[in-house]
Structure 1
Amino acid sequence: MKQPNQSSRRKFLRNGLSAAVAGTAIAQTACSTENEKPSAQAPYINFNDSYHWKMVTTWPPNFPILGEGCNKFAQWVKEMSGGRMEITVYGGGELVPSLEVFDAVSNGAIELGHGAAYYWAGKIPAAQFFATVPFGMNAPQMNAWLVAGGGTELWQETYAPYNLLPFPGGNTGMQMGGWFNKEINSAEDINGLKMRIPGIGGKVFSRAGGTSVLVAGGEIYTNLERGVIDATEWIGPFHDYQMGFYNVAQYYYYPGWHEPGTALELFANKDKFEGLPSDLQAILRTCSERLNLWTLSQSEVMNSLYAHKLKTEENVEFRPFPTEVLDIFRKYSEEIVNDMTAADTASKKAYTSYKKFQDQFNEYAIYNEKIYYSSFQPNI
């Protein structure tokens, strides 16, 4: 028997897949009720069509883990789509400034963005609750809320007026409390201290008597070295090591009360996303889920390795914040969040869902994680 050539085989498979997709669509339509109709009809799948999108990020080009994950996301999309969809990734400042990523995707100039929701606090105060809250949920809890607890649906509702569709796009894990050139033995030691710390955490630090200073990432080291600031937080041991902070600060404090599990975001221009064929929409969703898992996993691995490296090779002194100081930070954090939710309806709605899930999780944790770490992990 004559064997079909490569072109014929490809045509046969393509036609077969098209028929299967069409059959599935007919079956789904036949089984749908009036209340289950999709919100938007995806275009017909044409396997000859190709799509070239751009992604802009808030991270420097090829930034370890965070920017690296965006590059991997683009690679996964290309592989899963058989080359039909290609995404070019631009670091902050390469195509648009880092803090203009939101607007560039919102107005449709760019198709995709990646960053952290608290960067848009000035535009959408409620966005901060989809990133992190001082003394809030850790990474597994954030993922549970966003993926299965209704958080993403609420997030999408919050971004809808801006024509954006957000998805969980990674997590840094629990961060460190920061690098200090002064010992923190009591709440009084915060008075007059200048620290680079943004977001809600920065407001808490200022209310506790310090001064929150906004400093670009590339300027932190020099400012800390010259005494322009007395302390800084960044991310965790891996990224902090890359920045060389151990050369200019004496004490490394923990825990990262201000960012216990910072969620990152991938967001698409909603109109352009809905204009894609259904299979490419599914591929983007699936790759965002993979990115979410990869980023957290990579962060946990590298932070544990570099925490050991900082202690054993650089002789960094890891110090816990005194309980008195953490209590003060917690008190002011609650006050600030209450002020936010009282002043903004969207913030109240987001935080009500967030806090309800956190309380539910904490109630359950006393039967497993809390007792496990306190009783069965002697080295923790």
Structure 2
Amino acid sequence: MSAKVCGQIPYIKWAELQIYAEEFPQVTDGIYDSEKTNELSRLLKIAASNTPKKYFKEIEAAAGIFNGLAVIVSIQRESKNPDKTKPKKSKLFPLLPTNRRNFLSIAALGSLAAIGSGITSQYLQMPKVTWRMANFLDGIYDQFIISKAPYIIRERIKKITNGRFEIEPLNDKKILTEDILKDVSDGKKVQCGFSGIYYNANKYKVLFFGCAIPHGLTPEEQTAWLLYKEDPQDKLTFIQKIYQRPELDLNVIPFPAAATGAQMGGWFKKKIETIEDFNGIIMRIPGLGGEVLKKFDVNLDKDLPGGAISLNKIAKALRDDKIQAAEWIGPYDDVQLGLHQAEAKYYYYPGWWEPSTTFDMLVNKDAWENLPPHYQEVFKSVCLETYTEILAEYNQKNSEKLAEIYKLKNITVSKFSPEIIKKTKEETTKLLKLYASNNDLFGEVYQKWNSFKGGMREWSNLNQ
């Protein structure tokens, strides 16, 4: 095959450098300082994996450098071990004899190194950036699937950028979701935050369209909605642009970073067969779903003395009859929380109030705009990958755990009646229209969301 294809250096040279870089520390063992050779190997592997096409010629030159280094190694080994058995030849770095031709190759290494050094210089010159991250779970609930997302994001960004972009945890175990929104917007304490959208302030209710709306979008539809742009050329998605509206007075850009997919309808201490059976119970439930249930005389835990019940106290509150119902996410995380052992034996579905819940990585806008473009692309890609990964894990583990729950003799898994679904859906529509009539921004987004849902649902229904 010709050394060049269509005037470009073929991809084989790219792969060649990666192999040389991988083998280099072993070939130079005992000749050069191992720490330095390992570092050189690491930098060249980074370059070979990420360097743009415009550096193809430099890649070929760097591969030549590594071939030349093999010759130097062979000479030094022979001089250091004149009476010993020669080391085994490497398939990648043949120990060539020192003739005139090889001497000229060695002499050329200095100039080739100057060219090849440009490959890694862009990585070495990238600035060191350190952010702090708030987290509404903040390490105290590590048993949940959702808890993995912040850690995955931090570690992957650090690894991809070779430690040049690091995100440190805030470690504030009492921070609330609305506090995270405000702290990220301010940007002094933290530059980003992992959070769900469970805000009490009326002006922030419009942001629920980026998280979960009762009787709303399926997980597939939600993903399409989160990535939707009014104009394909827009830098920001439709949801991200909502955060920029002056009515909200925020300095934040959200990035979807995790999703639970479909949820269950919660644990109840009594049967819920009709809409009237909700009357008078106290339930742990956040968000718009709780506001819908209030219309059916459900009392919410957030209205109790002391406020909303923390996650680690939900099971005890059920056993003590402080509350008579609670919802969290789904079979896997619910069992991790001990809700199957909390004397609430009726487990209902579907979780109509959160059919496709999203958790965001909120980022301070100023910090984002000061981030190098390369880091921005890394951050976006890692968040989207984590979103997909967490969603997939929920689907897998929830199905497995549900099969186990079905086998428990003390638990009854039941579906909400058609009457309950119908009446809660009607009340949801009334509530959304009420908010839309009282808030222009909410009304604008609701209209867009409703139109998007209608179009998506026509397509989704074709595949049922």
Which residue matches 2:250?
162
Task: Give the SS at the match of 2:462.
Answer: coil
Give the TM-score normalised by structure 2. Answer: 0.69
CA separation of 1:22 and 1:58: change in aligned 2, threshold 3 A: farther
Deviation string, structure 1 residues 173-198 (Cα, Å, up to 9, x no partner): 11111101111121221111221112
Alignment counterpart, residue 344 of structure 2, candidates 223, 240, 249: 249
Instruction: Indicate yes or no: 2:186 matched with 1:102.
Output: no
Task: Give the SS at the match of 1:202.
Answer: helix
Which residue matches 2:136?
58
Displacement after TM superposition at 1:304 (Å) = 0.9
Q: Which amino acid aligns with 1:100?
A: D
d(CA) in 2 for partners of 1:125, 1:326: 23
Q: Which amino acid aligns with 1:59?
A: L
The answer on whether the counterparts of 1:92 and 1:98 sit within 8 Å (CA) in structure 2 is no
Which residue matches 1:304?
399
Tell me the matched-pair count.
Answer: 346
d(CA) in 2 for partners of 1:92, 1:64: 18
d(CA) in 1 for partners of 2:401, 2:49: 48
RMSD: 2.8
Which residue matches 2:92?
none
Which residue matches 2:306?
none
Instruction: Indicate yes or no: 2:212 matched with 1:132.
Output: yes
Which residue matches 1:294?
389
Deviation string, structure 1 residues 111-157 (Cα, Å, up to 9, x no partner): 11111123365451201111111100011110011114559622222
Which residue matches 1:275?
370
d(CA) in 2 for partners of 1:299, 1:18: 32
Which residue matches 1:35?
none
CA separation of 1:271 and 1:187: change in aligned 2, threshold 3 A: same
Task: Give the SS at the match of 1:118.
Answer: coil
What runs of 5+ residues in structure 1 fail to find an aligned partner? 24-43, 371-380
Which residue matches 1:41?
none
Which residue matches 1:79?
159
Displacement after TM superposition at 1:217 (Å) = 1.5
Give the TM-score normalised by structure 1. Answer: 0.83
Report which structure shows greater RCO (CA 8 Å, sep ≥6): 1
Instruction: Indicate yes or no: 2:445 matched with 1:350.
Output: yes
Does 51-60 or 244-253 show the bigger shift?
A: 51-60
Which residue matches 2:125?
47
d(CA) in 1 for partners of 2:333, 2:50: 46
Q: Which amino acid aligns with 1:155?
A: I
Q: Which amino acid aligns with 2:300?
A: S
Which residue matches 1:365?
460
The answer on whether the counterparts of 2:228 and 2:237 sit within 8 Å (CA) in structure 1 is no
Displacement after TM superposition at 1:101 (Å) = 1.2
The answer on whether the counterparts of 2:177 and 2:199 sit within 8 Å (CA) in structure 1 is no
Displacement after TM superposition at 1:209 (Å) = 2.4
Task: Give the SS at the match of 1:134.
Answer: coil
Displacement after TM superposition at 1:19 (Å) = 9.4
CA separation of 1:15 and 1:82: change in aligned 2, threshold 3 A: closer
Displacement after TM superposition at 1:73 (Å) = 0.8
Deviation string, structure 1 residues 6-59 (Cα, Å, up to 9, x no partner): 477888899999995999xxxxxxxxxxxxxxxxxxxx9862531222111111
Task: Give the SS at the match of 1:117.
Answer: coil
Percent identical pairs in the alignment equals 26
Q: Whose Rg is larger? A: 2
Which residue matches 1:40?
none
CA separation of 1:314 and 1:113: change in aligned 2, threshold 3 A: farther
Which residue matches 1:375?
none
d(CA) in 2 for partners of 1:181, 1:187: 15
CA separation of 1:305 and 1:92: change in aligned 2, threshold 3 A: farther
